[in-house]
């Protein structure tokens, strides 16, 4: 299926999206394998690497894991997307609230999705403790957060929290099919602190990333990588404007909510485990 891209330049300062390199495309696929593995109840070898700890909160039903990749020298936090009624209730709690979380202090008017914040705060002490322990014994390791859908929004909040709590650590974040997670002040903060280290991937006409409208005060962070046509490849994946809300990217297609495009990224069915 082909999803036509609108490549007209609507603002003088914005350039049309451009295709990405093969190396970057490989990274996007690589970290998606962690994100899809987070749906597995048991993942002994995430992406072929060492499992540090499984993450789980029975009240919010948030789950995932932390892995250590000795080859890439990375500590990876992978968080699962929506898979239960509790998750859906979190998704539906769309009031924008201050980012109140251990060790976090953002610009005063910064606001985030209240349901996502409750979900993140339900596991944040466990994640911060485990990542801190890993960094203490692996000082040369970077930290990567990743997730699909709800998990992608949680990965973003996790990255901000980790960056605030471990200021000397290199931190990157990857989200796949994630909805808008905060207001423009929050997204501007993310863009300023992370830049190209915050990667937001959208597949075709996946309606979840645009399901929460900007009219409610929400705003995407950048950089969006829009895999706009099939088959998936670096040539069919476009790097959009780093501001976050590029009218030439996935936002050019009206939201259809949860659809088939949301369930598959890079030809991989969401939920496929890479755990051996």
DSSP classification of residue 130: H
> Above 80 in pLDDT, residue 149?
yes
> Above 80 in pLDDT, residue 153?
yes
Residue 2 lies in a domain: no
DSSP 3-state assignment of 204? coil
Residue 246 lies in a domain: yes
Residue 46 lies in a domain: yes
CB 26 within 8 A of CB 266: no
Q: How confident is the model at residue 1 (pLDDT cuts 50, 70, 90)?
A: very low
Residue 11 lies in a domain: no
The residue-averaged pLDDT of 154-167 equals 98
The residue-averaged pLDDT of 30-35 equals 98
CB 175 within 8 A of CB 200: yes
Q: How confident is the model at residue 84 (pLDDT cuts 50, 70, 90)?
A: confident
* E strands in the chain: 18-19, 50-57, 62-69, 74-79, 96-97, 112-113, 142-148, 171-176, 198-203, 224-227, 237-239, 264-265, 268-269
The residue-averaged pLDDT of 191-220 equals 97
For the CA atoms of 34, 37, 43, 47, the dihedral, rounded to the nearest 10 degrees, stands at -40
Residue 197 lies in a domain: yes
Q: Quick one: what percent of the chain has pLDDT higher than 70?
A: 94
> Above 90 in pLDDT, residue 86?
no
Residue 272 lies in a domain: no
Q: Which of 100, 118, 116 is nearest to 108 (CA)?
A: 100
pLDDT at 15: 61
Residue 9 lies in a domain: no
Q: How confident is the model at residue 14 (pLDDT cuts 50, 70, 90)?
A: low
pLDDT at 16: 66
pLDDT, greater one: 168 or 9: 168
pLDDT at 8: 32
The residue-averaged pLDDT of 156-162 equals 98
CB 58 within 8 A of CB 41: no
Residue 67 burial class via C-beta count within 10 angstroms: exposed 0-12, middle 13-18, buried 19 and up: buried
CATH number at residue 91: 3.40.50.1820
Q: How confident is the model at residue 4 (pLDDT cuts 50, 70, 90)?
A: very low
Weakest mean pLDDT among 91-95, 122-126, 158-162, 266-270: 91-95
pLDDT at 62: 95
Q: Side-chain half-sphere of 213: how many Cα atoms within 13 Å?
A: 6
Q: How many domains does the chain have?
A: 1
Residue 1 lies in a domain: no
Residues designated as active site:
149, 206, 262
Q: How confident is the model at residue 2 (pLDDT cuts 50, 70, 90)?
A: very low
The residue-averaged pLDDT of 240-253 equals 94
The residue range of the domain holding 30 is 18-267
pLDDT at 87: 72
pLDDT, greater one: 4 or 47: 47
The overall average pLDDT reported for the chain is: 92
Weakest mean pLDDT among 4-13, 162-171, 215-224, 243-252: 4-13
């Amino acid at each position: 299926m082909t999803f036509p891209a609108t490549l007209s330049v609507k603002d003088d300062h914005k350039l049309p999206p451009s295709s990405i390199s093969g190396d970057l495309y490989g990274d996007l696929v690589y970290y998606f394998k962690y994100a899809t593995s987070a749906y597995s109840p048991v993942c002994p070898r995430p992406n072929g690497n060492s499992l540090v700890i499984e993450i789980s909160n029975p009240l919010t039903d948030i789950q995932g894991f932390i892995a250590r990749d000795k080859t890439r020298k990375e500590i990876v936090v992978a968080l699962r997307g929506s898979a239960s009624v509790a998750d859906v209730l979190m998704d539906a709690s769309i009031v924008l609230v201050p980012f109140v979380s251990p060790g976090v202090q953002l610009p005063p008017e910064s606001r985030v999705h209240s349901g996502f914040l409750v979900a993140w705060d339900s596991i944040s002490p466990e994640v911060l403790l485990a990542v801190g322990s890993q960094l203490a014994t692996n000082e040369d390791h970077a930290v990567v957060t990743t997730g699909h859908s709800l998990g992608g929004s949680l990965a973003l909040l996790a990255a901000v929290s980790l960056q605030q709590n471990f200021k000397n650590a290199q931190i990157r974040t990857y989200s796949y099919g994630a909805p808008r997670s905060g207001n423009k002040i929050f997204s501007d903060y993310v863009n300023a602190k992370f830049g190209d280290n915050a990667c937001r991937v959208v597949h075709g006409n996946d309606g979840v990333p645009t399901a929460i409208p900007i009219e409610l005060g929400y705003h995407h962070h950048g950089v969006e990588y829009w895999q706009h046509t099939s088959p998936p490849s670096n040539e069919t994946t476009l790097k959009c404007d780093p501001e976050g809300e590029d009218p030439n990217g996935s936002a050019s297609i009206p939201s259809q909510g949860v659809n088939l495009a949301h369930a598959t990224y890079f030809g991989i069915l969401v939920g496929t485990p890479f755990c051996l």
